[in-house]
Structure 1
Amino acid sequence: MEAPPLDRKLAAILAADVEGYSRLMHVNEELTLATLTSHRTIVDGIIERAKGEIFGTAGDSVLAEFPSIVLAFNAAVAMQQSIWRANQALPDEVRMNFRIGINVGDVLVKNGNIFGDGVNIAARLEGMADVGGICVTRGVRDHLRDRVDATFEDLGEKTFKNIARPLRVFRVQFDRESDPVLDGPEPRFPYLDDGSDKGTSAQNAEPIPADYRTPDDMQQVEIAYWDSVRQSNDPNEYRQYLRRYPNGKFVDLAQARLENGKPSTEELAVEVAFWDTVRSDGNAAMIEAYLARYPQGQFCDLARLMLAGPGR
């Protein structure tokens, strides 16, 4: 078979990665995945609004290219500012932060993906960035010098693995707590409520009006979050759910748990076993049988969603 053609182009490349992702997964896999899904919704939306194209999304990493250095840089700053704001409503131990590297260089395009030193350098820069920070090459700094509201700290020449020559690296100094600025509709940060709960870290957060997540995205994040707390013996877990999703699909169940306490371990085990059978079978009659047997069960809302799904 003939090999697919290789194209070359000059591009601004952004590489981002979650700091401490393995540690977060070790602490709580379900909550970490839910947080990553919501944070990635923010990140992907910003990249799209900045006319970027996402090429790689392996696990907790993002690789994107932009038609201009200014667009790539503004997207990176908006990403860090947006994630900082989204983190304010989360407990410290589950907050998720990104490191970002930006390079401009020649890349190879093959089968809808990008390769080459330009990509590798962006990835190495990301590894050098501070938590919640951005690092760039001298070429990026020189192009941006008078075009952006940021300063650049010279870190000197650095040697990178598999890169032939040393490169001068700069740390971007910017205000992470400022409002993100990009053309197009502003995102809504999924964790921030109206600030009415004085017991949360979001008490001083400002509400953000628009939301570019789809209903399916929001539903999946909420389900993943509920699944991570539904077997907890800690009432604070249910209070946190109610703060985060005041109009959520599991609000009645969370409130009932707070008022009446959890069912016994034995009762819970029987219900979970029943639900596992129902979920794997996917039969409408089985779902209805579950709802009849457990009208206030912990999977009732999910069961009703399955009954209301496509083809039902």
Structure 2
Amino acid sequence: MERRLAAILAADVVGYSRLMGADEAGTLAHLKRLRAEVIEPKIKESRGRIVGSAGDSLLVEFASAVHAVQCAVEAQEGLAAHNASLPEDKRMAFRMGVNLGDVIAQDDTIYGDGVNIAARLEKLAEPGGICVARNVYEQVKGKLDYSYTDLGSHQVHNIVEAVRAYRVSRAKPTSVFSTKDMLALPEKPSIAVLPFDNMSGDPEQGYFADGMVEEIITALSRTRWLFVIARNSSFTYKGRAVDIKQVGRELGVRYVLEGSVRKAASRVRITGQLIDATTGAHLWADRFDGGLEDVFDLQEEVTRSVVGAIAPKLEQAEIERAKRKPTEHLDAYDYYLRGIASLHQLTRESTANALQLFYRAIELDPEFASAYGMAAWCAVIR
């Protein structure tokens, strides 16, 4: 056995089982072509060495963290260009994670916590995205002119210490606002809740993450002393790498809440971090785990924690008074969130679809007042 320090890149295909179930032979041929034409040439250019390639996963060793991150970014760009010409159901997206750590080399492959952390970081990345460890970020931040977003600390499976993760992309954050649109801070505490990342591994679960954010925005809005930016403004940042200070200036807020939602089977995990947009400092970060039956309690915990972090000396009476459990029927709530996602598309067809989803929620729980309210709003839009 030989020990050495290495930069490790772990990658795998998003929704590989679904693709294989739809077309096994075509998926294997597509994966083989992408590896040969896009990924492996980039690995060779960056002086990397493939040390594992089971199924749809790939493990690559580099002597340099800079080379590993550069390879990941350029490979993802090549994959995005390839996918652009394909219909959405045929696209093959990868997640990638990069870690720098001590590894054990044996039998042409590598082992150890350094490898395990890279694999966990890959799971934190969004489809088509790259997630790197803090030690990698420290090595590359002054050498590669990329955009880096701090995702906070994560407690990952089988790793004792929390892992600090960063999202990486080539593009510098761009703004849809002009300089004249920059807003002054209001007198009372102000916050924007950015769209949470969908970490569920299924892009179609995006409605659930968006619905969770909307519920948190609504709950925060009930706190009279807190100025909360409306959903329509904060959701203009969805899917973009953003600079938190820039968001604060553009929306005129002191605080920004960002995070992620992971829904798997009957479990939900919400992670959130509160940032002072004037300084970029992290004020609070936490993770909330529970079953789907606890989803309203989780939303309440996130809301209460944010309020407590902004003004710890202010009483929590407002947030306690505003607590609501709209329904005990989880399927009804799922239809409700799907309806909200459809409604926001603002087309004749999406509004009609949303109305049917709200009606379905009402059928499952005739006492679900929010579903009646949103169904009425569909009628207003029509």
TM-score of the pair, normalised by structure 1: 0.54
- For residue 120 of structure 1, give the secondary structure of its aligned residue in structure 2: helix
- Alignment match, 2:32: 37
Distance 2:52 2:33 in 1: 18
- Alignment match, 1:125: 121
Q: Report the alpha carbon displacement of residue 135 of structure 1 after superposing the two structures with TM.
A: 0.3
Spell out, residue by residue over 1:202-244, the C-alpha distance to the aligned partner (whole angstroms, 9 max, x if none).
xxxxxxxxxxxxxxxxxxxxxxxxxxxxxxxxxxxxxxxxxxx
- Alignment match, 1:53: 49
Q: Report the alpha carbon displacement of residue 91 of structure 1 after superposing the two structures with TM.
A: 1.6
Q: Report the alpha carbon displacement of residue 160 of structure 1 after superposing the two structures with TM.
A: 1.4
* Amino acid in structure 1 at the alignment position of 2:166: F
- Alignment match, 1:26: 21
Q: Report the alpha carbon displacement of residue 66 of structure 1 after superposing the two structures with TM.
A: 0.5
Distance 1:149 1:18 in 2: 26
1:113 matched to 2:109? yes
Instruction: Using the aligned pairs only, state the percent identity.
Output: 47
Q: Report the alpha carbon displacement of residue 171 of structure 1 after superposing the two structures with TM.
A: 1.1
Q: Report the alpha carbon displacement of residue 167 of structure 1 after superposing the two structures with TM.
A: 1.6
Spell out, residue by residue over 1:128-172, the C-alpha distance to the aligned partner (whole angstroms, 9 max, x if none).
101000000110111111111212111111111211211211111
Q: Report the alpha carbon displacement of residue 175 of structure 1 after superposing the two structures with TM.
A: 3.5
RMSD over aligned Cα atoms: 1.2
Distance 2:48 2:120 in 1: 20
Question: 1:11 is matched with which residue: 6, 14, 37?
Answer: 6
1:148 matched to 2:111? no
- Alignment match, 1:77: 73
Q: Which has the higher strand share?
A: 2
Spell out, residue by residue over 1:241-260, the C-alpha distance to the aligned partner (whole angstroms, 9 max, x if none).
xxxxxxxxxxxxxxxxxxxx
- Alignment match, 1:160: 156
- Alignment match, 2:132: 136
- For residue 78 of structure 1, give the secondary structure of its aligned residue in structure 2: helix
* Amino acid in structure 1 at the alignment position of 2:103: V
- For residue 19 of structure 2, give the secondary structure of its aligned residue in structure 1: helix
Distance 1:118 1:128 in 2: 16
- Alignment match, 1:95: 91
Spell out, residue by residue over 1:41-93, the C-alpha distance to the aligned partner (whole angstroms, 9 max, x if none).
12112111110000000011100010101110110001100001111222211
Distance 2:66 2:82 in 1: 24
- For residue 73 of structure 1, give the secondary structure of its aligned residue in structure 2: helix
Q: How does 1:291-302 map to 2 (within 5 A)?
A: none
* Amino acid in structure 1 at the alignment position of 2:58: V
Distance 1:138 1:63 in 2: 19
* Amino acid in structure 2 at the alignment position of 1:114: I
Distance 1:32 1:64 in 2: 22
Could you list the runs of 4 or more consecutive aligned residues of structure 1 that deviate by over 4 angstroms after TM superposition? none
- Alignment match, 2:302: none
Distance 2:65 2:87 in 1: 35
Q: How does 1:196-275 map to 2 (within 5 A)?
A: none
Whose RCO is larger (CA < 8 A, sep 6+)? 1
- For residue 159 of structure 2, give the secondary structure of its aligned residue in structure 1: coil
- For residue 135 of structure 1, give the secondary structure of its aligned residue in structure 2: strand
Q: 1:31 to 1:46 in 2, by over 3 A?
A: same
Alignment: residue pair count: 171
Structure 2: where are the runs of 5+ without partners?
Answer: 173-382
Distance 1:175 1:63 in 2: 25
* Amino acid in structure 2 at the alignment position of 1:168: R
Distance 1:157 1:20 in 2: 25
Contact conserved, 2:132 with 2:168, CA < 8 A, in 1?
A: yes
Distance 1:126 1:32 in 2: 21
Distance 1:133 1:48 in 2: 21
Distance 2:55 2:111 in 1: 18
